[in-house]
Amino acid sequence: MEEFDYVIVGAGAAGCVLANRLTASGKNTVAVIEAGGKDNHIWIKVPAGFNKTVYNDNLNWGYETAPGPHIDDRKIRFPRGKVLGGSGSINGHLYVRGQSADYDTWAQLGCRGWSWDDLLPYFKRAESRVGGSDEVRGRAGPLSIEDQRDPHDLSDAFMAANEALGLKRSPDYNGGNQEGTMLYQQMMKRGRRWSPVDAYLRPAMGRPNLKVITRALVERVDLEGRKAVGVTYRQDGQSRTIRARRDVILSGGAINTPQLLQISGIGNPEDLAAIGVAAKHALPGVGRNLRDHYAVRVSALVKGAGSLNERSHGLRLVREVIRYAVMRKGLLTSSPSHAGGYFKTRPGLETPDMQLYFAPASYAPGSYGTSVLDSVPGMTLGCSQLRPESTGHVKALSADPAAKPEIQPNYLAVQHDRDALLAAMKYLRKLINTSPLKEHVVEENLPGPGVQTDEQWMAHARATGSTTYHPVGTAKLGTDPMAVVDPLSMRVIGLEGLRIADASCMPTMVSGNTYAATNAIAEKASDLIPAT
């Protein structure tokens, strides 16, 4: 039986950070267990390859949500990375920290040490960034953050239309104050995706005190009384046990972490009884508090703009491939959203409550939630509420670790969320009809000019909205009765030897894409864990 100081479950956005930081001194031995395989798929490295990876069954857990009672009982595909790098190897590689108020809220909820000022040093430590202020941006970290290498003219028109409506250009939306319109920053290095494996794991893999175990599904956390002593995992059809002298650290993300806790006997006793698992440690908050950003699109056909649709076929595509190979520019450096914005949907708000997305491309009818390009030139605008009040759950439906859990985000359950989204959709239509963007428009084709009333807009939102792949909160930091993780130590409350550091720890949703926040959580955890 192998034994290490730390056993990390999951080699994603958080697990890769922990593997690197905890082995850096040479004092600790660390094993990282990942259910997926190596990150050597060709499309992982090409930025636009998210179209090829996000629903690839060889790189993905293949989840979907339970029917949503407030979105016409639809199920939504819910990809999570199953590969070294986790979702950080298949996502849209946008870098968004959120607002300073997000983290100050965490501190106000009882998470001492988790305010913006507390986390800023970790954001800075993580990144290597050209541009922005030295006060808020890092210069020598492992995570490469680049500006877009080849901005599109339609993106410029989108930002100019926002300015015409009073939303100013943001000098750096990652400086704590997001309000404004801007081009998104990307996790890339010299035109290639820069994943958590590139940034953290691969530089550490040559260390003798780190072992990376792939294609290994963790079956349970092994407990002796109130102490976690290791994990049992299945690889090549055989069960193996690995011991942790100090800690087992769960970094499987907002879906896999609560599921593993539940099948290990840690969670709400009623949930555990439903799957025939004996309750070893009652924690009612496990799997609760699931939050995700729900996005809705508005799109238009365009003319004379050289949309990505036009550049993705025939000889033009051949030219784009050559351009990328030679210059690392063009279509293949694209992310799902090129430009965006953060604005307030109503007066009286202290900070923006809505995120905007823009792509100089349109998507095939019915491909909501995917990125299949349409055959005709177009552009797409999207919106998602930054801090939704609707919450859901993750529940294991079986004691079998390979069985998919129930994922119920409960989108649009709260009227406040519906009101904010309604205001944002109307703003998107206003943008399409504002110069200089409107000069490129042939016609709005989604939802189309026939949608006018509030009821029609909300019917569009229910029928076509989708995930932005940002689940968080299912094993939250805190001190209240539903908290799962101690914010001072990252320990699972009431247990020894078991810690959690990943997106499941977030008490509330951050304002935007969640990778940067998850990275900062892991950076801070890598200091807290050896010290506590």
Centre a 10 Å sphere on the Cβ of residue 117 and count the other Cβ atoms it contains: 11
Which among 68, 58, 158 is positioned nearest to 410, based on CA atoms? 68
Beta bridge mates, 341: 181, 356
Angle between helix 515-531 and helix 116-126 axes, rounded to 10 deg = 100
- From the CB of residue 160, how many other CB atoms can be counted at a distance below 10 Å? 15
Strand partners, 240: 233
Side chain identity, residue 124: K
How many Å apart are CA 231 and CA 502, to the nearest integer?
Answer: 18
Closest CA to 2 of 162, 297, 211, 182: 211
Within 10 angstroms of residue 211's Cβ, the number of other Cβ atoms is: 18
Place of tokens 């909160």: 473
Reduce the DSSP state of residue 410 to 3 states and report it: coil
State yes or no: is 470 an active-site residue.
yes
Chain-centroid distance of CA 80 in Å reads: 9
In this structure, are residues 260 and 391 in contact, taking their beta carbons and an 8 Å threshold? Answer: no
Buried b (16+ CB within 10 A) or exposed e, 351-375: bbbbbbbbbbbbbeeeebbebebbe
| DSSP H or E run through 327 | helix 314-327
Nearest to 151, CA basis, from 377, 429, 337, 321: 337
Phi, psi angles (nearest 5°) of residue 131? 110, 165
Which of these is catalytic: 152, 293, 338, 470? 470
Gap between the Cα atoms of 148 and 155, Å rounded? 11
Q: Which residues are catalytic?
A: 470
